[in-house]
Amino acid sequence: MNATPGTQQARPATRIDGPDKVTGRARYAFEHRVSGAAYVWPIQSTIAKGQILNVDASAALALPGVLAVLTPDNAPRLAGDDPELALFQSRAVAYRGQLIAAVVAATLETARAAAGLVRVGYEQAGHDVTLTPDHPGLYKPDHVNPNFATDTEAGDPDGALAAAPVCIDRTYRTPGEHNNPMEPHATIASWDGGELTLYDSDQGPSMAARVIAGVFGLHPDQVRVIAEHVGGGFGAKGGPRPNAVIAAMAAKAVGRPVKCALTRQHMFAVVGHRAPSIQRVRLGAGRDGRLTAIAHDVIGQTSTIKEFAEQTAVATRHMYAAPNRRTTHRLARLDVPTPAWMRAPGECPGMFALESAMDELAIACGIDPVELRIRNEPDAEPETGKPFSSRNLVACLREGAAWFGWDGRDPAPGTRRDGPWLTGTGVAASTYPARAMASQARASVDESGRYQVAIAAVDIGTGARTALLAVAAEALGVPAGQVTVHIGDSALPQAFIAGGSMGNASWSWAVTAACQALREQIRARDGAIPPGGLSAQSATGDAVRALPDHARYSFGAQFAEVRVDADTGEVRVPRLLGVFAAGRIVVPAMARSQFIGGMTMGLSMALHEESTIDPRFGDYPNHDLASYHIAANADVGDIDARWIDEDEPEPGPARAKGIGEVGIVGTAAAIANAVYHATGIRVRELPIRLDKLLR
């Protein structure tokens, strides 16, 4: 058959997986059909620090239907380098809620009931779970996530701050927060001899297969990870979690497939969280608002078994021009679960502090907050001198101000009322790195002219299938209806994780290269497709390494309007506007959804989210969605997301930057700044609760 690709393509108008999701045909990890599956229920530590003396599983094993109880006494020995995945390898307890044993049974109900019959004896030790600015154990980590310098310094920031006509010196705090994707972490594990198959709720099947292979001493080709549909991740599923290991261990022990689904309560201990932060920000400026010095010092926490240092002050290194600069990070090792990635790690909490301080500087200088940011726009990345591949923050601020109706804003705080409501508006900038990582893809065509594109990408609810279909159809020059995209399986060409706002930028590069190579094959044959079809595979590692040495970021501006009840302190956000510069927007409907989702999560951060640890027990008492509050429908008013056209030649032929995380960044600061404008009360510690405004 002749199948010469043309130059036109029809993009999908809606999400191609939409019908499957609304009709229930979409299969999530726990829903895959496997015959003879058993169930595993994990047992958690009830102390925050100490040693397991003994585990009495006799009552559990006597319960009909119980197949095994895994404990440190009988669990198989594991390898790998992640202590959070080294389940049941030690009797040491590092935090309350740590998985210390598990029951495998024929039914989920039996496994859960039997877990309650297991008796664990402990030798309890004193624990420390409270982060303070003067904690005696504070230390300097070797680097911050993923591999940034811990500290940076240029010029004489202390001298410049002391000499500055205007100086802001404030401390801001953000609480612990927990990723709560709609789909809890879940895995089905099945062994076939030495081959392991996992149906897993995971943000990166390729990485998950490599990590799990290392844990069980297997070759990566012996592990297959399938993530057909994933119901959200927000970083918590950026790598395999204990549910995957415990399912595989249990399946090996009982010789049949095993299902493991963590509950919401489990997830508050064993799948990561955003650590609390204490941030001191100092800004020195002339009376014209031009910065002469920036200092951003961060105190955070990690666990005692694994270090995770969030890169909280890193965004400060590229946001605004100032000749004298310093950023630092210090950690305390506490007896708490290990922190990990949560949407926009580093940038999200760090920009709350920086953008709140910029608002305070604008007020001190008597300068409009939008204008203050524009005056401090750098010509190149301030700490490295690298040119920006593109930077349109000023355009986002100016166009956003026009769309929002910012002009003519009365800067005086606490002076506007609408009945019992005090009203105000605020602004903040947002940013996130624009990266791409090496990935591979395969494109093929059969005799009938049907195209297949395969890549081990994963759709975590972002619309990745739809976006990659659009990219593939455009690169092939055919209607989208002629193309089928296969993702979510480590058996496909390997791909980077859906995280760090790198997914589509990385995958679309590989997909475009594979499709263009296939198109050239077809052209070389004058459109004739042989009986076996044609296929082309790409690998983008060399292309990624050859990128010019530029500073690459997405930018945005967040505008918020708030209403604060003068009697109760209740805060409402009737209007949010985000304006973004993020390269080429591949599928506008998907992009708008991602921006609005990020802004909604930022609103939740500003007003609701707070993981409160009880120092007596070393645990989170608010460890479910009844007590860990997130924004609900009534909290979300008119949210609008827009973007400006940005010519971004890097990274990759799709000219796309990541958009999954820039939407959350800056939103909390914009709301806090608006609350100050409405009330005259500056809230420097999130969330903005009623009690903080009733003063």
Give the burial string for 213-223 (b: 16+ CB within 10 Å, else e). Answer: bbbbebeeebb
Contact predicate 423/561, CB 8 Å: yes
Alpha carbon distance 611, 614 (integer Å): 10
Which of 499, 662, 637 shows the shortest CA–CA distance to 578?
Answer: 662
Residue 691 DSSP code: G
Which of 188, 237, 190, 687 shows the shortest CA–CA distance to 503?
Answer: 237
Count Cβ atoms below 10 Å from residue 616 Cβ, excluding itself: 9
Q: How remote is the C-alpha of 237 from its chain's centroid? A: 9
Alpha carbon distance 109, 88 (integer Å): 23
Alpha carbon distance 38, 259 (integer Å): 6
Q: For residue 92, what is the enclosing H or E element? A: strand 92-93
Contacts of 230 (CB under 8 A, 6+ apart): 28, 29, 183, 201, 202, 203, 237, 458, 459, 460, 461, 488, 498
Q: What angle do CA 234, 236, 239 make, to 5 degrees?
A: 120
Query: Which residue out of 310, 360, 561, 661 is catalytically annotated?
Result: 661
Active site residue 307: no
Task: Return phi, psi of residue 175, to 5°.
Answer: -85, 170
Alpha carbon distance 40, 250 (integer Å): 7
Alpha carbon distance 168, 297 (integer Å): 14
Q: How remote is the C-alpha of 122 from its chain's centroid? A: 36
HEC profile of 254-311? HCCCEEEECCHHHHHHHCCCECCEEEEEEEEECCCCCEEEEEEEEEEEEECCCCCCCC
Distances, alpha carbon 336 to alpha carbons 124, 454, 618, in Å = 15, 41, 7
Contact predicate 201/28, CB 8 Å: yes
DSSP track, 54-72: EEE-HHHHTSTTEEEEE-T
Contacts of 122 (CB under 8 A, 6+ apart): 45, 46, 47, 50, 51, 52, 53, 93
Say if residue 146 is exposed, middle or buried (CB neighbours under 10 Å; 0-12, 13-18, 19+): exposed
Classify 642 as helix, strand or coil: strand
Classify 618 as helix, strand or coil: coil
**Catalytic machinery residues:** 661
